[in-house]
Chain A
Amino acid sequence: MDQSNKVELEDVVIRFSGDSGDGMQLTGTLFSDASAFIGNGISTFPDYPSEIRAPQGTVAGVSGFQVHFGSAKMNTPGDYCDVLVAMNPAALKANACWLKKSATIIIDADTYDEKSILKAGFNTPDPFTELGLQDYNIIRAPITSMTKDALADVELDLKSKLKCKNMFTLGICFCLFSRPLEHTEKYIDDKFLKKNPEVAKANKLALKAGFNYASNTHAFANTYEIAPANLAKGRYRNISGNQAVAWGFLAASEKSGRPLFCGSYPITPATVILEELAKRKDLGVKTFQAEDEIAGICTAIGASYAGNFAVTTTSGPGLSLKSEALGLAVITELPIVIVNVQRGGPSTGLPTKTEQADLLQALWGRNGECPLIVMAASTPSDCFDYAFMAGKLAMEHMTPVLLLSDGYLANGSEPWKIPSMKDYPSINPPIVTKTEDGGPFMPYKRNENLVRGWAHPGTPGMEHRIGGLEKHFLKGSVSHDPANHQRMTNLRAAKVAKVQDFLPDQTVIGDENGDLLVVGWGGTKGHLLTAVKALRAEGKKVSLCQFNYINPLPKNVRDIFKNFKKIVVCELNMGQFANYLRMNFQEFEFLQFNKVQGQPFTVVELKDKFNELLG
């Protein structure tokens, strides 16, 4: 029986880390799911290397997964961890910098032999002293050998048995934080029972053995309870940013009645969107894994011409390759959505790490005067809404839309109150099937919002041509007339600018005036919000203005900015949005806080910066 003391906590950050092959991503995901299931608020962040299986036991091969769970909605996966699971010395070395003072460290004692310790790059056989961690609460559990013992009667080879180490570890954590096992056991059965009952049995046994080990040996002086969060009533699920983007596109397809086509080339960290859509043949989705990034967007353009809701998914290097075709979509005024899940750049950069440095590329990275709508999602779950809106704006305004996500949003997950499609607006693309006067169709004739008609090949009497050469302002014929080019350039710009009339007002979190306005855009919302809320709780006059619509900007931005003594623009690049705001609002001074380390902001560094600015 568990006789340790139960202590109630508000929130906890736990970081699972081990070799790429240790199954830490799954362990973290299952811990998050179980926590969400019992009603905790959660926010997760996987942090993994770009190598699939870097050499075992080296720092390069360490894969991590951080979960922040608590008795309220969690806006960030947490800066520093209360508990670090380090399956080998390399994992300890890679993650020691993320430990809170006096954190608990759970290690697999079997892997901490001298050889592994030296392989991880330690200079002495005592990594804890070397890192100055000797006073931390270190739980040395012989996880490998106990997993082997627990599975003695299971009919699997040793290698398969040792794969269950992560479940033993998860069991320990479940005991420590008083999580029930049922949810995970059901997951294991669903995944393995049909395919291989022995594997299912082994995983469940290991999970239970870990739980019992922690409970029986009193490994921990205390165990912890984290009360359920006070979440709005309703039905919930966990969702990651990439999954939410994919599903948001499905929603836009359903609301518009336009079949969904996704032409994409796999690229980290965007690939999961294509994978999610490939599963959805049941909803009639056509996915096309292209031969390259260019074919990804070009097939989407072809599908859009045919009348589909067409999307393409990519990350920075892929966006570079798509630029010429983006120009084609702009000049032919065909609706497509391009998702750029940003990662560290330039070039191949940091494929698995997050950054926001593609903003100016999104705005202007094309030849010629080439405006399009640029927007950004800001939490894993609101990726659904912004993907939906990207589809709505693209189709209703006959323009490409560039939707920015990032590695942090894409892989992070949070509980999401499942919406109902009846609460989403309709999408009404300007499809034309006949001309008003019965004459030939004029592809570049516009409605009151400057939007041209969408006539799909196969529609009788609407034969026309479009293309990348400048076109006559009404007809599809080529025009080199100087005045016509000016006119078409102005029209394309005005059409995108007019989208402003259809955007919601920019909101401010906190008071509408004060000493400091924190400005962010996209995926930094969770961290900025947490920092701003903390300072507001201390009585400081700080507010947050987090942007989702970037081109065009919402109408009321100037009215917000003028009510604050100072404005600081925080972004994971060297000042791109700040410069964009300077260009648009020359009367304000924009201070900057920037970081490009492949990691999100920490709440601690944000608070320090804001306090410094508040003086």
Chain B
Amino acid sequence: MADNKYIYTPQDFKSDQEVKWCPGCGDYAILNSVVKAMPEVAKRDGIPHEKFVVVSGIGCSSRFPYYVNIYGFHSIHGRAAAIATGLKVANPDLSVWVTSGDGDSLAIGGNHFIHAIRRNIDLNLIIFNNQIYGLTKGQYSPTSEFGKITKTSPFGTVEYPFKPGELVLGARGKFFARSLDVEVGLTQQLCEAGAEHKGMSVIEVLQNCVIFNDKTFAKFTATKELREEKTIVLKHGERMLFGKEKNKGLRLNGLKLEVVTIGENGVTEEDVLIHDAHEPNPSIHMMLADMEGPDFPVALGIIRDVKDDSYDNRVCQQVADVQSNCQIHNVDELLNSGNVWEVK
């Protein structure tokens, strides 16, 4: 419920600590988006500053807690989702954010990542996907493309990457959104939407590592024009249109998506799909999350946003239900319950 007593500025969420990411790192932009989103969330949802917490694992992205002026826990590699789960279940009043990377969440922390999603813990997890291990100086990650040449794959990798969106949907996730580091406004909007969603929200930000994987997303992000042609920003209830002239769109051809141009081959705007992020069936969301060049635009925006109850809320509800009608109210009563006898 809106409670506008909590009015803050992004400055209230920035810390005084020196930011130690490499100059030009995409992480700066993400930090900027988050500190802009948090005052909006505070105002909209009536959350005071002290209830914001960020938990991170290990990696460049996981230095995030030092750079925001809120409760922060910089933990160990891969475990942020598990630690955040305990934190949120113990105190569901908190607004719990997780910052993580492709190595942290999808390699060493893969198990916690999929299970936090499956349980639908009310966390906002931002995955900084730069498709490389940056903090260990340039080894391939579970999202690096097939054949990628890195220090640990001098002849190219021989393994296929994960797509975070497929994992989220495969783990029966309810909220998945994607942005680019350079799209500060879009990332901010997605963070606000993720915070509003009750349950696990995963926001993937494709983020450039200037040192070890520079320009890896450049083929669809390098210029504003390129982004207009090679990406599509999905909005619930709106047609899936993209391109500078907004004359390209997506439509279903049988069981597959295809790109069409309005005005060509008799295609009209009515042929283009309307995005339904609230649809429980994940099939089209999966296809959207999966799209990549050169034939398809990369999907950005909220791909999936389906309402459900959260795990933490169900736990509290169960405790309340049992307590409303129980025989045992304290430890003394418990110790004296059941099979007891007197020695006289």
Contacts and interface: CB of A to CB of B under 8 A. Distances in A.
Contact of A299 (B50, B85, B327): B85
A235 B85 contact: no
Contacts of A236: 340-343
Given A291-B112, A306-B94, A254 B319 contact: no
A462 B70 CA distance: 9
Contact of A463 (B69, B84, B87, B335): B69
B334 interface: yes
B333 to A, nearest CB: 9
B344 A233 contact: yes
B268 interface: no
Contacts of A228: 343
A604 to B, nearest CB: 31
Interface in A462-512: 462-469, 476-478
Contacts, number: 200
B93 interface: yes
Contacts of A478: 66
A467 B315 contact: no
How many chain A residues sit at the interface, stated as a range, is 35 or more
A140 B58 CA distance: 67
B10 interface: no
Interface in B306-344: 315, 318-319, 322-323, 326-332, 334-336, 338-344
A90 to B, nearest CB: 32
Contact of B343 (A234, A301, A421): A234
Nearest to B323: A282
19 contacts: A237-B335, A254-B331, A282-B327, A283-B334, A284-B323, A286-B90, A294-B112, A298-B85, A299-B85, A302-B82, A306-B91, A310-B90, A325-B76, A327-B76, A458-B71, A458-B94, A461-B50, A463-B69, A467-B75
Contacts of A220: none
Interface string A289-306: 011101100111111111
Contact of A466 (B49, B73, B76, B329): B73
B342 A298 contact: no
A354 interface: no
Interface of B: 17, 48-51, 53, 55, 58, 65-66, 69-76, 79, 82-91, 93-94, 111-112, 115, 315, 318-319, 322-323, 326-332, 334-336, 338-344
A298 B79 contact: yes
A328 interface: yes
6 tightest Cβ-Cβ pairs between the two chains A and B: A302-B86, A467-B74, A299-B86, A465-B72, A298-B82, A306-B90
Contact of B65 (A251, A324, A325, A467): A467
A469 B72 CA distance: 13
Contacts of B344: 233
Given A283-B331, A302-B73, 12 more contacts: A39-B343, A281-B318, A281-B319, A288-B86, A295-B82, A298-B75, A302-B88, A303-B87, A325-B79, A421-B335, A457-B94, A467-B72
A346 interface: no
Contacts of B332: 420-421
B73 A458 contact: no
A295 B69 contact: no
Contact of A261 (B82, B86, B115, B323): B86
A300 B86 contact: yes
B329 A282 contact: yes
Contacts of A259: 90
Given A247-B335, A300-B86, A302-B82, A286 B91 contact: no
A308 interface: yes
A304 B85 CA distance: 12
Contact of B342 (A234, A300, A464, A476): A234
B72 A301 contact: no
A250 interface: yes
Given A234-B342, A302-B86, A464 B71 contact: yes
Given A306-B91, A457-B87, A282 B342 contact: no
Contacts of B326: 281-282
A263 B338 CA distance: 26
Contacts of A539: none
A281 B69 CA distance: 36
Interface of A: 33, 36-37, 39, 187, 228, 231-238, 247, 250-251, 254, 259, 261, 263, 280-286, 288, 290-292, 294-295, 298-308, 310, 324-325, 327-328, 332, 417-421, 456-469, 476-478
Contacts of B58: 468
A263 B331 contact: no
Contacts of A324: 76
A477 B319 contact: no
Nearest to A308: B90
A613 B151 CA distance: 63
Contacts of A280: 328, 334
Contacts of B94: 306, 457-458
A458 B343 contact: no
Contacts of A462: 50
Given A250-B334, A283-B331, A302-B90, A290 B82 contact: yes
A190 to B, nearest CB: 9
Nearest to A239: B335
Given A261-B90, A310-B90, A457 B71 contact: yes
The listed residue with most A CB atoms (<10 A of its CB), out of B50, B66, B84, is B50
A156 B85 CA distance: 48
Contacts of A263: 86
A247 B331 contact: yes
Contacts of B111: 291-292, 294-295
Contacts of B85: 288, 295, 298-299, 302
Given A298-B79, A467-B73, A305 B340 contact: no
Nearest to A282: B326
A298 B50 contact: no
A459 B50 contact: yes
A254 B341 CA distance: 25
Given A290-B82, A457-B53, A461-B50, A307 B91 contact: yes
